[in-house]
């Protein structure tokens, strides 16, 4: 009986020791860049999942050093995935890089506009000295337009420099949590409600009613919208031997352009995403997304998409679905087009496919290695059509 009591004491001591070695509160299981499972704790420490060996500080990567030592309040993110301080820092650094890229483009455009104006002034002076009246008149008109272009370019340069300076302050002074919280609060509050019209404005509206909205096809009342047919196909081969076979053609998913870069892309979208679906011999279903960026610099500003990284689909009915990447995806440069492509395969459970078949999409969040980014979706029926072909 005494030996049994001693054995119980030994077991309790071992359990107590194990409890001090393996923390439970706030820990999270993650995958590092080498594909190894690691346990990350709120104090920033990490251990290997298999043998609980403490990971050396020099070995920790972005997956292992994602938690801060200090505790701060971060506004919750809808979709069941809350960002850490390291995520917000990475997002702020990415925004700073994009702002600096826009600043560089704005300065180059302003310099080109200034040089163009100086060259025209030189040509105008030469034409005047030579007495070429018609050429002088033409150059004066061109110079007037060039000065306006130069003024716009200088204004854009000033605005880009101010945005880059603001982004730099957020990173340099560690304000990324405050910046994120403020953005989340504004997002929840939504746009400001319009001011109610006073009596005079109401009377004027009664006297001068608003013109009906012109759709281009006559009155819209009572018309049945004509939906496009699903882009189904059985003619596309599998991308690899034994892999899933596409059942739809690639379809535009969404586009996105950072507002800092929009003035300098001449109407071209910074990010263009296309999607298609596939099915393998076992009946498993997949959603494939190709993210195409119009600038090779995204390799450093966005990073890569890790295995099991999330694609969060937010529906118009308020629900959301989360799909996981089947494998890691890295950016591949297309040197001819000066673009970068990320090809990602997301696992598509049957329940998710059924819900997407019956619901419209609002927006998506993609969780890059440099932090998540949210994209509005204007082709709200795109996934519904793709699901029809499964």
**Which of these, 374, 291, 283, lies nearest to 325 by C-alpha position?**
291
Residue-wise DSSP of 249-273: --EEEEEE--TTTGGGTTT--SEEE
Is residue 73 packed enough to be buried (19+ CB in 10 Å), middle (13-18) or exposed (0-12)? Answer: exposed
- H-helix or E-strand containing 5? helix 2-21
Is residue 273 packed enough to be buried (19+ CB in 10 Å), middle (13-18) or exposed (0-12)? Answer: buried
Distance CA 370, CA 93 (A): 8
Per-residue pLDDT at 140: 87
Per-residue pLDDT at 220: 41
- Per the CB < 8 A criterion, the answer to whether 270 and 253 are in contact is no
Neighbours of 289 (CB within 10 A): 23
Distance CA 238, CA 247 (A): 10
Distance CA 386, CA 253 (A): 10
- Beta-bridge partners for 37: 31
- Per the CB < 8 A criterion, the answer to whether 239 and 351 are in contact is no
Q: Are strands 46-48 and 37-40 parallel, antiparallel or unpaired?
A: antiparallel
Give the domain ranges of the chain: 21-71, 89-189, 245-387
- Per the CB < 8 A criterion, the answer to whether 31 and 38 are in contact is yes
- H-helix or E-strand containing 375? strand 371-376
Grouped pLDDT means (10 residues each) for the chain, 390 residues: 54 49 52 64 64 54 41 55 75 85 87 89 89 87 87 89 88 83 76 60 53 43 53 76 83 88 80 92 91 88 89 89 92 91 93 88 89 87 88
- Per the CB < 8 A criterion, the answer to whether 295 and 341 are in contact is no
Distance CA 323, CA 345 (A): 10
CATH dotted code for 245-387:
2.60.40
Q: With the CA atoms of 246, 248, 249 and 255 taken in that order, what torsion angle do they form, in degrees rounded to the nearest 10?
A: -110
Per-residue pLDDT at 224: 43
Q: With the CA atoms of 126, 128, 133 and 137 taken in that order, what torsion angle do they form, in degrees rounded to the nearest 10?
A: 80
- Supply the angle between the helices 85-130 and 133-172 in degrees, to the nearest 10: 160
Provide the whole-model pTM.
0.64
For 295, which DSSP code?
-
């Amino acid at each position: 009986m005494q030996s049994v009591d001693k054995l119980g004491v030994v077991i309790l001591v071992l359990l107590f020791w194990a409890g001090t070695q393996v923390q439970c509160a706030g820990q999270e299981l993650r995958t590092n860049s080498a594909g190894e499972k690691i346990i990350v704790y709120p104090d920033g420490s990490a251990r290997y999942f298999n043998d609980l060996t403490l990971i050396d500080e020099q070995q920790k990567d972005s997956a292992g050093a994602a938690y801060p030592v200090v505790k701060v309040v971060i506004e919750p993110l809808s979709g069941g995935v809350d960002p850490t301080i390291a995520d917000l820092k990475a997002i702020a650094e990415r925004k700073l890089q994009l702002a600096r890229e826009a600043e560089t483009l704005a300065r180059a455009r302003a310099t080109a506009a200034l040089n163009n104006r100086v060259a025209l002034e030189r040509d105008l002076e030469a034409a005047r000295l030579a007495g070429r009246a018609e050429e002088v008149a033409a150059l004066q008109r061109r110079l007037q337009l060039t000065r306006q272009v130069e003024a716009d370019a200088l204004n854009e340069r000033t605005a880009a420099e101010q945005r880059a300076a603001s982004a730099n302050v957020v990173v340099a002074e560690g304000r990324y949590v405050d910046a994120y919280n403020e953005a989340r609060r504004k997002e929840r509050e939504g746009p400001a409600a319009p001011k109610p019209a006073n009596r005079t404005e109401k009377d004027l509206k009664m006297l001068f009613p608003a013109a009906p909205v012109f759709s281009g096809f006559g009155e819209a009342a009572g018309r049945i919208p004509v939906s496009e047919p699903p882009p189904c196909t059985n003619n596309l081969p599998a991308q690899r031997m034994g892999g899933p076979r596409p059942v739809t053609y690639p379809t535009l998913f969404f586009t996105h352009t950072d507002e800092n870069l929009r003035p300098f892309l001449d109407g071209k979208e910074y990010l263009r995403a296309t999607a298609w679906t596939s099915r393998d011999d076992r009946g498993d279903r997949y959603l494939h997304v190709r993210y195409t960026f119009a600038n090779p610099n995204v390799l450093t500003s966005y990073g890569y998409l890790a295995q099991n990284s999330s694609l969060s689909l937010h529906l118009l009915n308020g629900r959301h679905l989360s799909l996981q990447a089947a494998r890691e995806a890295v950016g591949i440069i297309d040197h001819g087009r000066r673009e970068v492509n990320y090809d990602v395969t997301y696992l598509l459970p049957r329940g998710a496919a059924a819900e997407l078949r019956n619901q419209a999409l609002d927006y998506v969040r993609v969780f890059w290695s440099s932090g998540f980014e949210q994209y509005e979706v204007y082709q709200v029926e795109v996934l519904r059509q793709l699901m029809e072909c499964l």
